[in-house]
Amino acid sequence: MKKKFVIPAVLLSAVAAGGLLYLTHTYPMEKVAAAIAPAPPPTVPIVAGVVAQHDVPIYLSGVGTVIAYNTDVVRAQIQGQIISINFTEGQAVHAGDLLAQIDPRPYQALIEQYTGNLERDQAQLTNAEANLTRYNKLGVQGWATPQLVETQKAQVGELQAAIKTDQAQIDAAKVELSFTRLTSPIDGVAGIRQIDVGNIISPSTTNGLVVVTQLNPISLIFTLPETDLPRIQQQQQKTKTALKVMAYNQDDTIELGQGVLGLVNNEILQTTGSIQLKANFPNSSHRLWPGELVNARLLLDTRHNGLTVPASVVQQGPTGAYAYVVNPDNTVAIRPLKVAQISDGQALIDSGLKANDTVVVDGQYKLQPGTRVTMLHGQAAQEAIAQTAQQAPIP
């Protein structure tokens, strides 16, 4: 029985060895190794763009406040009762427009009184001059004493002075009468009315009648770091013209107006290390409003044939800005960048890229140098950008 069990085992081992030898000759080792090698890593989908080359404006950006070119509080110069209001709050008014009327009757009566005094003194002067003429004739004939003649001359002079005084009083009363008309001193927009019909107004009334604000033209005062001052001065000396200034709303989505730089303040603010600048705007459409906080862009220069990429291309690392560049074999490499400015979603590149380079616009978080990529186009690219925007952390 033991012999019957050993012989089949030996035969089985021989058959196995023969089979292994057959497989070794039939399939080379290279094919076996290839069969068990790991699959290449999958490519990473990205959205790519091309480095553009064109003229790029160079801006200096700051925050500023819109101020009215002129702001006037319409006050009374005399005391009296307001009998009419002749404007509507928020109305556009012009210089000389009647805004309110103070009761003029007391001042008209005063003019009539002074006019009566003038006419009385003129009549007395006529009589005194006639008497002087007679006394002069009598004096020549010896019938009037020199003292009488001199006295009459003095009376004529006194009445002449009284007439001048009367006329001055009439003129002053007419001026006061004109003050009963409260008019707009400038072209502008009337604000909230501070007093109502029937109330007494006087020069001591704190808030006056109304505030009229000039909106056209208008000014903007904004600040820039003091380090920008030499560049501004150099550009002013170079161009010999006023630099252009643009005003935008706080989220930089709406341009509110274009103006020119009117003033660089004569001192630097030591507390903040900044310089104040004042720009003037035509503001014909009234899009700039006094007190409004806006973003100001000072157009310093224009770089010809500048290199630009979407702002999302620029990444920040421990050593500074960089970008992923797509190589011809669809792998990516890191390029250090020097960025001149980022404005309106575009980055102006000083160095690190060349015109027509292909760069990664979206999908950088999955990349490493040497990663093979697949470029998305059309709707797929838009969906990838939208998905990244939703996943981005809130700053």
Cα separations in angstroms, 300 against 260, 351, 369: 12, 20, 37
Tell me which of 39 and 134 has the higher pLDDT: 134
Sign of CA dihedral 75, 78, 79, 83: negative
> Is there a contact between 51 and 309 (Cβ–Cβ < 8 Å)?
yes
pLDDT at 133: 87
Report which of residues 109 and 367 the model is more confident about.
Answer: 109
Mean pLDDT of 191-204: 95
- Supply the pLDDT for residue 212: 97
Distance (Å, whole) CA 259 – CA 265:
17
d(CA 203, CA 181) in angstroms, rounded, equals 14
Residue 136 backbone dihedrals phi, psi, to 5 degrees: -65, -40
CB contact at 8 A, 212 and 74: yes
Q: Rounded CA gap, 273 and 193, in Å?
A: 41
Percent of the chain at pLDDT exceeding 90:
66
Which pLDDT score, from 0 to 100, does residue 83 have?
A: 97
pLDDT of residue 390: 46
pLDDT at 5: 41
pLDDT in tens, 137-167: 887 877 778 888 888 889 999 999 999 999 9
Lowest-confidence range among 91-105, 130-144, 220-234? Answer: 130-144
Q: 18 or 128, which is more confident?
A: 128
Per-residue pLDDT, 1: 40
Q: Which residue has the higher pLDDT, 318 or 5?
A: 318
Q: What is the pLDDT of residues 257-298, one digit of tens each?
A: 999 999 999 999 999 999 999 999 999 999 999 999 999 999
* Confidence class for position 100, pLDDT limits 50, 70, 90: very high
Confidence band, pLDDT 50/70/90 cuts, at residue 134: confident
Task: Say whether pLDDT at 344 is over 60.
Answer: yes
Residue 376 has a pLDDT of: 84
Out of 15-19, 75-79, 132-136, least confident range: 15-19
The Cα–Cα gap between 260 and 251 comes to: 22
**Structure confidence at residue 279 (pLDDT):** 97
pLDDT score, position 347: 92
Q: Give the mean pLDDT of 188-209.
A: 94
Confidence check: pLDDT of 35 > 70: no
Q: Which pLDDT score, from 0 to 100, does residue 95 have? A: 95
The answer to whether the beta carbons of residues 47 and 313 sit under 8 Å apart is no
Entry pTM: 0.67
* Cα separation, 245 vs 257, whole angstroms: 9
The helix-helix angle for 146-178 and 105-141 (nearest 10°) equals 160
- When the pLDDT of each residue in the chain is averaged and rounded to a whole number, the result is 86
Count of beta carbons in the 10 Å neighbourhood of residue 78: 17
> What pLDDT was estimated at residue 20?
42
> Is pLDDT of 207 > 50?
yes
pLDDT, residue 132, reads: 86
Question: Among 83, 113, 255, 97, which Cα is nearest to 174's?
Answer: 113
Residues 6 or more apart in contact with residue 177 via CB below 8 angstroms: 104, 107, 108, 111
Average pLDDT over residues 204-219: 94
Please state the rounded mean pLDDT for residues 100-129. 95
pLDDT of residue 363: 86
